[in-house]
């Protein structure tokens, strides 16, 4: 896996046999195999290969996450974090063809992706904008969603103790929006697991999710508290 390829790699391939051990340089391994790439490289590979799954993932990231939505309830992009990360080239995308029966391998993939996140090149002041977004086109059914939800839940504490965030998005998500409870912001055309850094602007999420509140305030004791108070005042 030392030579770069123009093909669209499958994240399930390089890590399926990795077991539970840490990969020495996970980001380099995944990028060299073609299984994970920047937005620009993903676009180029998609044009060359015609990958429907990668094309769908890119279209959702750029056409939904990074743009405004009339039902969002506020101005700006659905995910301002991803939009800024794209400008800084700190987004990494991947497609994993794992099935609902491959839970152990998907767990290894996500655990390794936390390591890969730290290796994404970024200026120190902008390192918190690093993010990894992985699509699972073969897990769109109930069993696949249930498996990915277990993976997500098994990483909640792991991510929060490292000041990281993990999110699951899929077509049937009923999670309400922060600013419009009738909006469903976490819907995606294929199941997606995304990991990123916890940021000061996560106050609205900290208010909604008790498990996140304490790690958030430990990470941002003064600025975070001010944002939480401002959020409550704004909602009032």
- Partners of residue 165 on adjacent β-strands: 196
> CA–CA separation, 126 vs 40, rounded Å?
19
In this structure, are residues 44 and 56 in contact, taking their beta carbons and an 8 Å threshold?
A: no
Neighbours of 41 (CB within 10 A): 16
The pLDDT score that the predictor gives to residue 5 is 38
Residue 68 DSSP class: -
Each domain of the chain, given as residue ranges in start order, spans 12-197, 199-236
Show pLDDT as tens, one digit a residue, over the chain (236 residues).
Answer: 333 333 445 665 544 444 445 556 889 888 887 789 999 999 998 877 767 999 999 999 999 999 999 999 999 999 999 999 999 999 999 999 999 999 999 999 999 999 999 999 999 999 999 999 999 999 999 999 999 999 999 999 999 999 999 999 999 999 999 899 999 999 999 999 999 999 999 999 999 888 999 999 999 999 999 999 998 887 65
> CA–CA separation, 145 vs 71, rounded Å?
25
The pLDDT score that the predictor gives to residue 232 is 82
Q: Any residues with CB less than 8 A from the CB of 205 and at least 6 apart, and which? A: 165, 178, 212, 216
Q: Any residues with CB less than 8 A from the CB of 213 and at least 6 apart, and which? A: 206, 207
What order of strands is seen across the sheet that includes strand 192-197?
A: 36-37, 91-95, 131-135, 192-197, 164-169
Q: pLDDT digit string (tens) for 144-179?
A: 999 999 999 999 999 999 999 999 999 999 999 989
Neighbours of 52 (CB within 10 A): 12
> CA–CA separation, 216 vs 213, rounded Å?
5
The pLDDT score that the predictor gives to residue 8 is 43
> CA–CA separation, 31 vs 47, rounded Å?
17
The pLDDT score that the predictor gives to residue 165 is 97
């Amino acid at each position: 896996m030392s030579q770069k390829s123009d093909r669209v790699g499958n994240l399930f391939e390089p890590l399926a046999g990795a077991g539970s051990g840490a990969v020495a340089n996970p980001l380099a391994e995944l990028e060299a195999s073609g299984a994970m790439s920047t937005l620009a490289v993903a676009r180029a590979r998609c044009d060359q290969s015609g990958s429907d799954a990668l094309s769908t993932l890119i279209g959702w990231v750029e056409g939904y996450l990074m743009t405004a939505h009339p039902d969002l309830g506020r101005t700006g992009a659905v995910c301002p974090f991803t939009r800024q990360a794209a400008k800084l080239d700190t987004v990494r995308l991947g497609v994993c063809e794992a099935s609902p029966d491959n839970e152990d391998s998907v767990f290894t993939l996500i655990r390794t992706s936390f390591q890969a996140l730290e290796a994404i090149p970024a200026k120190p002041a902008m390192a918190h904008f690093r993010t990894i977004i992985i699509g699972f086109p073969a897990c769109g059914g109930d069993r696949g969603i249930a498996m990915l939800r277990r993976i997500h839940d098994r990483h909640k504490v792991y991510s929060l103790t490292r000041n990281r965030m993990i999110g699951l998005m899929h077509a049937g998500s009923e999670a309400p929006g922060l600013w419009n409870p009738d909006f469903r912001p976490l819907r995606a055309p294929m199941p997606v697991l995304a990991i990123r850094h916890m940021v000061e602007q996560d106050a609205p999420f900290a208010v909604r999710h008790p498990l996140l509140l304490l790690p958030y305030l430990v990470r941002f004791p003064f600025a975070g508290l001010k944002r939480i108070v401002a959020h409550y005042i704004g909602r009032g």
